[in-house]
Structure 1
Amino acid sequence: MSAPFPVTDATFEEEVLKSDLPVLVDFWATWCGPCRMVAPVLDQIAAEYEGRLRIAKVDLDESPETARAYGIMGAPTLNLYKDGEVVTQIVGAKPKRAILQVIDPHL
């Protein structure tokens, strides 16, 4: 079963930008309540979309350079990367249906 995996400033390019599959990146923080709310939803999506989508997690406190490079202003922010480019962004905790409505057209 596929699950969200951690990505850091050092591994972001290899794991996300060079990925053969689209990657939904969860920019989150341990102190963020809404991030904890969306985490189980992302676990479900990772399992259901295995082979079509990867889900990565970037801790804003541990990897500030990547967050700064992509203009991340708040948590949670979900960026969908396809072929190394951001194709859509979701800011704030959203229900599963709302997340899928945004990402499905890009898969």
Structure 2
Amino acid sequence: MGSVLEITDTEFEKEVFSEDKPVLVYFWASWCGPCRLVSPSIDWVANTYSDRLKVVKLEVDANPDAVAKCKVEGVPALRLFKDKELVKSHEGAIGKQQLQTLVDGCLN
């Protein structure tokens, strides 16, 4: 069973770019209402795809370097990396079905 790994700016390079499988990065903030709606779907993705996908999350306020590097303009935000390359990007709330479609498109 997979779980979402909470990381910081200092761990970003290692946790995202040193990984063999694709990595979904979830940017969130404690004050963000839509983030609270999206979080259960992020947990679901981490559990469902744990054999093929790593899921990490970063709080935007505490991690400005990763936010700048990934050009995050609003939260919640998703960045999907595969082979060290950004392959998918999403800003704003996302439903579970839409999230599953986004992930499936990158894994298949």
TM-score, normalised on structure 2? Answer: 0.95
Superposed CA deviations along residues 43-97 of structure 1, whole A, max 9, x for unmatched, are: 1111111111111001101111110112100000100011111100111111111
Whether the 8 Å contact between 2:70 and 2:79 is mirrored in structure 1 is no
- Which residue of structure 2 aligns with residue 29 of structure 1? 29
Which amino acid is 2:88 matched to? T
Q: For residue 100 of structure 1, report the CA deviation from its aligned partner.
A: 1.4
Alignment map for 1:1-107 (pairs within 5 Å): 1-107=1-107
Q: Root-mean-square deviation (CA), in Å?
A: 0.8
Structure 2: distance between partners of 1:46 and 1:103: 11
Structure 2: distance between partners of 1:81 and 1:92: 18
TM-score, normalised on structure 1? Answer: 0.95
Structure 1: distance between partners of 2:37 and 2:98: 14
Which amino acid is 1:92 matched to? G
Gaps of 5+ in 1: none
Structure 2: distance between partners of 1:33 and 1:6: 19
Superposed CA deviations along residues 11-56 of structure 1, whole A, max 9, x for unmatched, are: 0010011111111100111111111110011111111111111110
Structure 1: distance between partners of 2:35 and 2:70: 18
Which 4+ stretches in 1 moved above 3 angstroms? none
Gaps of 5+ in 2: none
- Percent identity at matched positions? 41
User: Match of 2:62, SS?
Assistant: coil
The count of aligned residue pairs is 107
Structure 2: distance between partners of 1:87 and 1:31: 28
